[in-house]
Structure 1
Amino acid sequence: MLLGPADVRRLAAELDIRPTKKLGQNFVHDPNTVRRIVTVAELTDDDVVLEVGPGLGSLTLALLPACKTLVAVEIDPVLAAQLPHTAAQRAPGLADRLHVVLADAMRVHAADLPAAPTALVANLPYNVAVPVVLHLMAELPSLTKGLVMVQAEVADRMAAGPGSKVYGVPSVKLAWYADARRAGPVPRSVFWPVPNVDSALVAFRRRPDLLSTVDRKALFTLVDAAFAQRRKTMRAALSGWAGSAAEAERRLVLAGVDPGIRGEQLSVGDFARIAATV
């Protein structure tokens, strides 16, 4: 049922598909890897899974038996057209669970999908991984959990906590929505073509206690300002955001945050308290 290396190359040849860096296409061709992804994703029979960038269908075929419905969002029209045929050939008893949406995941809204997804499971293009996850978490409140395969360095940033050298804007913004953790490495050899970077899995669960008293856009603007110049203290980094260094200090003190601290030391809760000051 699952696609192996020979199957992936044969399908690509039949479709005259040449993986492009522009679309971040690195197709998984190892059955054990997609089985592992499905296991780590902890799906249930009631889950509606959203897969972004299904490509030739390696992960798609592994996901079909593990969920109620699978919504695959694919930007490439050739790949999108082929996927239902691959599912029908490889998993005829499960093919009716698959719904393919030809679209750019960065522009997808809930109304564009045939069902409300509860889980995001995807091998994401490296160049848009973080924006895609943040966009989908914002647009699809039904998403309660996810497991994504991304570049290893991106995985580190997504899952980092305060105080880490790689903690930054992606870390804080994802933490606004969910608790994230690194869920293991993925070797380069499982992809075709072989990428020149390492990959890793990131698992996350939506936070039940979203800081709803603070406007998300206002908070994200604050976070962007705080990390624009990492070496600066919060008093200096937020001077433009607040209107002056003195006003930044006033708001920081009001929020119970040391004006001399740097953004990398603050949690999403700290940022929320700062954003809530007036």
Structure 2
Amino acid sequence: MRDPQSVPAPEPLLGATEIRRLAEELGVRPTKTLGQNFVIDGNTIRRIVAAANIDPAETVLEVGPGLGSLTLGLLDAAARVVAVEIDPVLAAKLPETVAAFRPAKAGNLDVVLSDAMRVTELPGVPTALVANLPYNVAVPVVLHLLEYFPSLRHGLVMVQDEVADRMVAGPGSKTYGVPSVKGAWYAQMRKAGVIGMNVFWPAPKISSGLVGFTRRVPPATQASRAEVFAVIDAAFAQRRKTLRAALAGWAGGAAEAERCLREAGVDPAARGEVLDIAAFARIAEAKVPQIV
């Protein structure tokens, strides 16, 4: 039996005391505008990193590192971390925090001062996305990053719990909608757990959900991603209407919408909430002019 004393203690992570000290030092007060809720519990960080299933050789993309709670845990697990931070004060402090808490890993961090919704180039080739995302932009950020960085093979994001449920929902579910379908274009999404409110500062009013994803090949179609997404947007803009009615504006008339639906093998009287991503791709393709 292994001697418990021979098992190395885990590297220290930022707790409530360190987080508040750093925030006070920087004059930072978490804002709702940027959706800042800092994780103050080391065990939660370890749980997130473990659930992300990071290979030691990987480069991890982190969005919104804040004061560095999750960043330290990711540096312990990955070869490199690329952190995208929109706040210049936090971005400037992060390398100093890493140098203080993980001096041997300080060279393994790249900090990019940018809005994650605008970034299109990154240092290195990140293969995993792991992030505590602001609730108000979580879905657009994930979709943007999956579009612009095809090297991202898998990931784990923490979002508002009800947003997590929408991201992983399947056809026929009450929570199935635009985030569910567009996310399915890029990846297989799954619920990986729920995080309570008391591990954050400030504590949010609702729990957070962990969403894991594994990239997959989009449905085979002659339609572009933008054309497929246009069908999805139209179908869910009026989700109580039949697809024949909801897609009339998109198709240029109800009759043309019905033609596209029947060609795609979809009942015109159905609603968007029952279709999977492959069906939306077929509908979009039915409108694409065929090249003979």
Please classify the TM superposition score into its range, dividing by the shorter chain length: over 0.9
Instruction: State how far apart, in whole Å, the 1-side matches of 2:179 and 2:81 are.
Output: 27
**1:95-134 superposed matches below 5 A:** 95-110=106-121, 113-134=122-143
Partner of 2:194: 185
Instruction: State how far apart, in whole Å, the 2-side matches of 1:210 and 1:94 are.
Output: 40
Partner of 1:21: 32
Say if 2:74 is the partner of 1:63: yes
Say if 2:106 is the partner of 1:84: no
Q: Is the 8 A contact 1:172 1:268 kept in 2?
A: yes
How far apart are residue 211 of structure 1 and its match?
3.5
Partner of 2:222: 213
Instruction: State how far apart, in whole Å, the 2-side matches of 1:52 and 1:211 are.
Output: 30
Tell me how many residue pairs correspond in the alignment. 276
Instruction: State how far apart, in whole Å, the 1-side matches of 2:111 and 2:41 are.
Output: 22
**1:238-253 superposed matches below 5 A:** 238-253=247-262
Q: What secondary structure, in the 3-state scheme, does the structure 1 residue paired with 2:156 have?
A: strand
Aligned match of 1:39 in 40, 50, 62? 50
Q: Is the 8 A contact 1:177 1:210 kept in 2?
A: no
Read off the aligned partner of 2:167 and give its amino acid letter. M
- Structure 1: which 5+ residue stretches go unaligned? none
How far apart are residue 94 of structure 1 and its match?
1.1
Structure-2-length-normalised TM-score? 0.93
Read off the aligned partner of 2:113 and give its amino acid letter. L
- Structure 2: which 5+ residue stretches go unaligned? 1-11, 288-292
Aligned match of 2:245 in 211, 236, 250? 236
Aligned match of 1:168 in 174, 177, 182? 177
Percent of counterpart pairs with the same letter?
64
Q: Is the 8 A contact 1:176 1:211 kept in 2?
A: no
Q: Is the 8 A contact 2:146 2:152 kept in 1?
A: yes
Aligned match of 1:272 in 263, 281, 287? 281
Q: Is the 8 A contact 1:119 1:146 kept in 2?
A: yes
Read off the aligned partner of 1:94 and give its amino acid letter. K
Partner of 1:75: 86
Partner of 1:52: 63
How far apart are residue 116 of structure 1 and its match?
1.4
Partner of 1:256: 265
Q: Is the 8 A contact 2:59 2:80 kept in 1?
A: yes
Partner of 1:201: 210
Larger Rg: 2
Instruction: State how far apart, in whole Å, the 2-side matches of 1:64 and 1:212 are.
Output: 39
Q: Is the 8 A contact 2:186 2:218 kept in 1?
A: no
Structure-1-length-normalised TM-score? 0.98
User: Which of structure 1's runs of 4+ aligned residues deviate more than 2 A?
Assistant: 208-214
How far apart are residue 114 of structure 1 and its match?
1.0
